[in-house]
Amino acid sequence: MQSANSLALQELNERRERHKAELEANTAKVRSLAPEYTGIEADMMRAGNSLLRSVLHGGKDFEKIKSFIEKNQSEKIEILKRLSLPEDYLDEKYDCENCRDTGFDDNGLKCTCLKELTSKYIDINSNMTELMKNQTFDNFNFSLFSPVPDSTGKAPLDIAKSAYDKAKSYADNLDVAKPRNLLLKGNAGTGKTYLSSCIGNLALNRGKTVYYQTSYKLCELMENVKFGKYETPEEQQGGYTTLNYINDADLLIIDDLGTEFLTQFTAAALFDLLNTRILKNKATVISTNLSLEAMEKLYSQRLTSRILGEYKIIQLIGQDLRKNIF
Ligand SMILES: [Zn+2]
């Protein structure tokens, strides 16, 4: 896995290479269709060098060289016209004129195109699916929840509203939220994953790096890394790994804690990951079907107490939303 910034710079590099190859192919085509162009090219090259020398030496023969270049330019355009090719056929082209696809403008500042590409890769690196990308606070559908109190005496709609408000306030204040982490608890289909997506999307919109993964896959990944099974050859050779990204992401979303294949190793690795993120002051959102009692039974005392001490808990209960959706 590569960081969003290095993926963005790599894409800019590919753009430059593509334009360079296009220009080379266009030039070769003109040279073969109009052999006299080769001479004009050589003249232009020499004249360009002379012009530079002239500027460096106080402008001697500047006008003469300039008009020579202009004459060559018109000859070049005449050739292109004759070949029915566009006038800019032999010009260097860029996807972004502002930075000429370097990612930085003339003042050395990050160009908008680089910023946009970086967010594109932050989005891709987040591992959130297209479906999850549509699960936003704005799209939250309260009509799925009944306003009628259930057997517990509480209306699912009230519970959903309260959970929504807490999750929204957490996501709005991600940088300063205390505690830094959130545990979304509830039965399957009560909207936990939906709310985690809402938080993830809001964070992405604000330029945060996010990583989403199910607890099952996350533990599998940690297990694989332990046995030296990396996702790409670059990772194998000591490059930046998905686990590095997971450790560094501003927000980590672990879905469905309790569904992982729990071994002594994964339990310890999970604790290390959550603990490291707490120490680094990074935000983590966990969703789970497990009750606190079940968590205490399943995980070590220290993992459970770390979660209880450092996580804000949002309890979601109510009917299975998927019954309404499908
Ligand atoms: Zn640019």
pLDDT of 155-199, one tens digit each?
888 989 999 999 999 999 999 888 899 999 988 777 899 999 999
**Cis, bond preceding 179 (omega within 30 deg of 0):** yes
For residue 19, what pLDDT band results from cuts at 50, 70 and 90?
very high
User: Same domain, yes or no, for 97 and 130?
Assistant: no
Q: What is the pLDDT of residues 97-115, one digit of tens each?
A: 999 999 999 999 999 999 9
Distance (Å, rounded) from C-alpha 293 to C-alpha 128?
Answer: 30
**Helix crossing, 62-82 with 36-56: angle to 10°?**
160
Please say which residue of 112, 137, 154 terminates a domain: 112
Within a domain: 243: yes
User: Same domain, yes or no, for 258 and 318?
Assistant: yes
Position 239 pLDDT exceeds 90? no
Q: What is the pLDDT of residue 62?
A: 87
For the sheet containing 210-214, what is the strand order?
A: 210-214, 251-257, 283-288, 181-186, 311-316
For residue 5, give both structure tokens: 């910034």
**For residue 102, how far is its CA from the centre of ligand 1 (angstroms)?**
7
Please say which residue of 112, 137, 164 terminates a domain: 112
Mean pLDDT calculated for residue range 113-119 = 95
Within a domain: 118: no
Within a domain: 117: no
For residue 72, what pLDDT band results from cuts at 50, 70 and 90?
very high
**For residue 93, how far is its CA from the centre of ligand 1 (angstroms)?**
13
**For residue 114, how far is its CA from the centre of ligand 1 (angstroms)?**
6
Position 320 pLDDT exceeds 60? no
Q: What is the pLDDT of residue 292?
A: 86
User: Same domain, yes or no, for 212 and 242?
Assistant: yes
Distance (Å, rounded) from C-alpha 54 to C-alpha 64?
Answer: 10
Q: With pLDDT > 90 as the criterion, what percentage of the chain qualifies?
A: 65
Position 251 pLDDT exceeds 70? yes
For residue 58, give both structure tokens: 């106080």
- The answer to whether residues 122 and 4 touch, using CB atoms and an 8 Å cutoff, is yes
User: Same domain, yes or no, for 108 and 136?
Assistant: no
User: Same domain, yes or no, for 105 and 141?
Assistant: no
**For residue 173, how far is its CA from the centre of ligand 1 (angstroms)?**
31
Position 235 pLDDT exceeds 80? no
The number of distinct structural domains making up the chain is 2
User: Same domain, yes or no, for 151 and 252?
Assistant: yes
Q: What is the pLDDT of residues 50-68, one digit of tens each?
A: 988 888 888 788 889 989 9
Higher pLDDT, 235 or 31: 31
User: Same domain, yes or no, for 134 and 229?
Assistant: yes
Tell me the C-alpha to C-alpha distance, in Å, between residue 286 and each of 14, 192, 207, 274: 38, 9, 21, 10
User: Same domain, yes or no, for 147 and 295?
Assistant: yes
User: Same domain, yes or no, for 130 and 104?
Assistant: no
Q: What is the pLDDT of residue 144?
A: 87
Distance (Å, rounded) from C-alpha 252 to C-alpha 123?
Answer: 13
**For residue 144, how far is its CA from the centre of ligand 1 (angstroms)?**
44
Mean pLDDT calculated for residue range 246-266 = 93
**For residue 241, how far is its CA from the centre of ligand 1 (angstroms)?**
28
Q: What is the pLDDT of residue 317?
A: 73
**CA nearest 226: which of 280, 282, 273, 258?**
273
Please say which residue of 69, 87, 112 terminates a domain: 112
User: Same domain, yes or no, for 170 and 229?
Assistant: yes
User: Same domain, yes or no, for 98 and 134?
Assistant: no
For residue 321, what pLDDT band results from cuts at 50, 70 and 90?
low
**For residue 95, how far is its CA from the centre of ligand 1 (angstroms)?**
8
Within a domain: 269: yes
Alpha helix segments (H runs only) across 206-282: 215-226, 233-236, 242-248, 264-279
Within a domain: 120: no
For residue 319, what pLDDT band results from cuts at 50, 70 and 90?
low
CATH number at residue 239: 3.40.50.300
Mean pLDDT calculated for residue range 219-227 = 89
For residue 241, what pLDDT band results from cuts at 50, 70 and 90?
confident
For residue 63, give both structure tokens: 């006008």
Within a domain: 121: no
Distance (Å, rounded) from C-alpha 85 to C-alpha 200?
Answer: 49
For residue 83, the enclosing domain spans: 4-112
Average pLDDT, the chain: 90
Residue type present at position 94: Y
Within a domain: 119: no
Within a domain: 51: yes
User: Same domain, yes or no, for 165 and 310?
Assistant: yes
**For residue 240, how far is its CA from the centre of ligand 1 (angstroms)?**
26
